[in-house]
Structure 1
Amino acid sequence: MSPTSPSPASPAAPSPTSAPLLDVRDLAITYHGARGDIPAVRGVNLTLQPGDTLGIAGESGCGKSSLALALLRLLPAGTTVEGQIRIDDEDVLDMSWGRLRALRWAGASIVFQGAMHALNPVHRIGRQIAEPILLHEKVSEAEANQRVDELLTQVGLPTWRARSYPHELSGGQRQRIMIAMALACSPRLIIADEATTALDVMIQAQVLELLGTLVAERGIALLMISHDLSVLSANCRRLAVMYAGQVVELGPAGKVFTDPLHPYSGALASAFPSVGDPAARGRPRGLGGDPPDPAALPSGCPFHPRCPVVLPECASTPVPLRAAGPDRVAACLRVESTADATRSTP
């Protein structure tokens, strides 16, 4: 199940700390609609230390964005969220609205996909970046504007862009503005939800380099969500692969990309052809079928209807995450278990 091309080396591990900055335990998210209950996320466990980077990959509908929104309680009203989400040892799900408001921007911030839709089209860029600074910090407007200039410089934009409207900027520039806004109040955790998907290759590389620099220099924790395993493996130390609302593999990003243990991880990794390989160009590999309907999940392993190496018992035997080597877990009957890892969060 090796992919067609290797990935660059993953970032170095951060210095260990006594407690994780982000600790997600048994997270379950259920939407309620006309079709009934729809379980979008089921029993997810994740941890993230300061200065660490974690990537989350998977097809559309696997629960990645629902997980990201749940971390700051941004899901629609009426959504059922169970489990624990602890940031700096405080449970986000139990926070008062006042404490949650203080956490957003100042403690943790999110960079959404599609900056044009996230920015207010009738306000200048400088005002939008300054708004969270004025809300969360006791500074004058002049001090906030000075901070705006510093942030624009940090993300590689001239300070005069503060007077621009969103429509006057390119897609890459707007995405940089979103990153500047996310950094405005010096959060310790940044959640990047498909933050580079709509960018061209050059701008994507610049944005990813910027995020990596911020992690290294500021010691922030970065949770990066993307469909692209190659991007995640090159920019994150660890990688979690989600399918049907569950984590099916978690481990060092380079290992998960180049030597996947779960068949689904292998299918995602194999979708990337080798540059200059005529065979890969002529016979692109992928994964047939569609992800299961969350409201009607198959029995046993939810991946078994699409699995290229399915076993007869896969249709009836649910498989929890199990330890599969140093700092690695996977949910597959073909993976030789070294220990029970149902709640493992390497």
Structure 2
Amino acid sequence: MTAILDVRNLKVYYRTPMGFVKAVDGVSFDVRKGEVFGIAGESGCGKSTLVHSLILRKPPMIHMGGEAIFKGRDLMKLSKEEERKIKYTELSIIPQYAMNALNPTKKIKDIVWDLAREHGAEDREEVEKLLRERLRMVKLSDKVADMYPVELSGGMRQRATMVVSTLMNPDLLIADEITSALDVTTQRVVLELLHYFMKEGIVKSIIFVTHDLALLDKIADRVMVLYAGKVAEIGPTEEIIDSPAHPYTSLLIESLPKIGVHYKRAKLKGIPGTPISLLNPPKGCRFYPRCPYAMEVCQRVEPGVFSVGDDHIVACHLYGGEKNE
């Protein structure tokens, strides 16, 4: 399957008075046409920094190396004008706090017209007609177009934001933690809408970012697990959930509640320790201070990437290197 986005050895740091925070430090992956690519990991692992660096990069965020080839162009080298042209038309994002992303002083139709006009639209009537059609598609009244964001409930604002972000049929949509502030019922609606956008060809591929692997099990084709700015594991969703290879992925899954299992029979397991400082990360594997399987080599040498199945890779010394020699 052809890749629409090919990221190689990407490094995105934050400049601080104490030094560089290595939030994304040598991450490589691809997103293929027609797939939902999930990115998971606990808070502070670099998920949002990674996706924002593709479309919303600004100080103190700094690109330190690597490339992100999107439809033949390196996103890290685009001019401000080139970025503006592809934003929302080819590459779009539903931000993490999507419910607060809409300008509260403007009606939905005015927000959309400003965006469409910036990208060359000249017929406001046609733009508003499309807006009202899309609102009905996501089970909202077309009267929402004439309302202010503050007049909408949280779930309605979330759906309205999704309409605004996808109105120009982007090739790649980034959904950054868009379900984290929603109840379970609304989460399901949002996931169904993303599936619908793909089915109808409104978007061609999706990057879905979350800390909740259970959500990815319902929507993603493949999953990348990040830890402390590094890739821990990438593979088909079913394999990642059912047969995780990296110790960190296993612990993440064990920390999730399971439906139908009484708490007296199976207690939830937390991940031991705390996330490391990205100002001064360990020399070897970044997970070794918290890993139950840590070996001496883990402290000295950063693990390479090993294949553990069809389209399934893991960065862990348990699968190669000195241990297997």
Q: TM-score, normalised by structure 1?
A: 0.88
Q: Give yes or no for contact 1:241–1:247 (8 Å, CA) kept in 2.
A: yes
Question: Which secondary structure does the structure 1 equivalent of 2:317 belong to?
Answer: coil
Distance in 2 between residues matched to 1:182 and 1:166, nearest whole Å: 15
Deviations 1:47-82 (CA, angstroms, capped at 9, x unpaired): 112211100001111110110111114232562342
Secondary structure at the counterpart of residue 305 of structure 1? helix
Residue 205 (structure 1) shift: 0.2
For residues 212-234 of structure 1, the C-alpha deviation after alignment (integer angstroms, 9 at most, x for no partner) is 12122216110000000010122
Residue 299 (str. 1) matches residue 283 (str. 2):
yes
Contact 1:57 1:241 in 2 (8 A): yes
Equivalent residue for 1:9?
none
One-letter amino acid of the structure 2 residue matched with residue 285 of structure 1: K
Query: Which amino acid in 2 is paired with 1:326?
Result: D
Match of 1:220, as an amino acid?
Answer: K
Aligned to 1:3: none
* 1:125-204 equivalence runs, <5 A: 125-204=108-187
- Please tell me whether the aligned partners of residues 121 and 166 of structure 1 are also in contact (alpha carbons under 8 angstroms): yes
Corresponding residue number in structure 1 for 2:10: 27
Q: Aligned ranges for residues 69-84 of structure 1 at < 5 Å?
A: 69-76=52-59, 79-84=62-67
Q: Distance in 2 between matches of 1:120 and 1:173?
A: 15
Q: Which has the higher contact order (CA 8 A, sep 6+)?
A: 1
Determine whether 1:334 maps to 2:325.
no
The answer to whether structure 1 residue 283 and structure 2 residue 283 are counterparts is: no
In the alignment, residue 223 of structure 2 is paired with which amino acid? L
| SS of match in other structure, 1:206 | helix
Q: How does 1:1-346 map to 2 (within 5 A)?
A: 16-17=1-2, 20-76=3-59, 79-218=62-201, 220-279=204-263, 283-336=267-320
- AA aligned opposite 1:274: K
Contact 2:10 2:25 in 1 (8 A): yes
Contact 1:22 1:88 (C-alpha < 8 Å) held by counterparts = yes
In structure 2, how many angstroms separate the alpha carbons of the residues matched to 1:135 and 1:151?
20
Q: Percent identity?
A: 35
Letter of the structure 1 residue corresponding to residue 159 of structure 2: R
| Counterpart residue identity of residue 93, structure 1 | M
Query: Is 2:99–2:161's contact at 8 Å kept on the other side of the alignment?
Result: no
- Cα shift readout 1:298-344 (whole Å, capped 9, x = no counterpart): 2211101111222232212210221111111101111258xxxxxxx
TM superposition shift of 1:199: 0.6
Q: Distance in 2 between matches of 1:79 and 1:283?
A: 42
**Cα distance 1:130–1:261, how it changes in 2: closer, same or farther (>3 A)?**
same
Is the CA contact (8 Å cut-off) linking 1:48 and 1:221 kept in structure 2?
yes
In the superposition, relative to structure 1, how do residues 222 and 78 fare at CA in structure 2: closer, same or farther (>3 Å)? closer
Structure 1 moving runs of 4+ over 4 Å: 279-282
Distance 2:27 2:47 in 1: 11
Amino acid at match of 1:258: D
Q: In the aligned structure 2, how far is the partner of 1:221 from the partner of 1:128?
A: 25
| Deviation for aligned residue 1:137 | 3.7
Separation (CA, whole Å) in 1 of partners of 2:285 and 2:54: 26
Question: Aligned partners of 1:144 and 1:314: how far apart in 2?
Answer: 56
Separation in 2, partners of 1:325, 1:209: 30
> How far does residue 286 in structure 1 lie from its aligned partner after superposition?
1.6
Find the residue that maps to 1:334 and give its secondary structure.
helix
Separation in structure 2 between the aligned mates of residue 106 and residue 288 of structure 1, nearest angstrom: 43
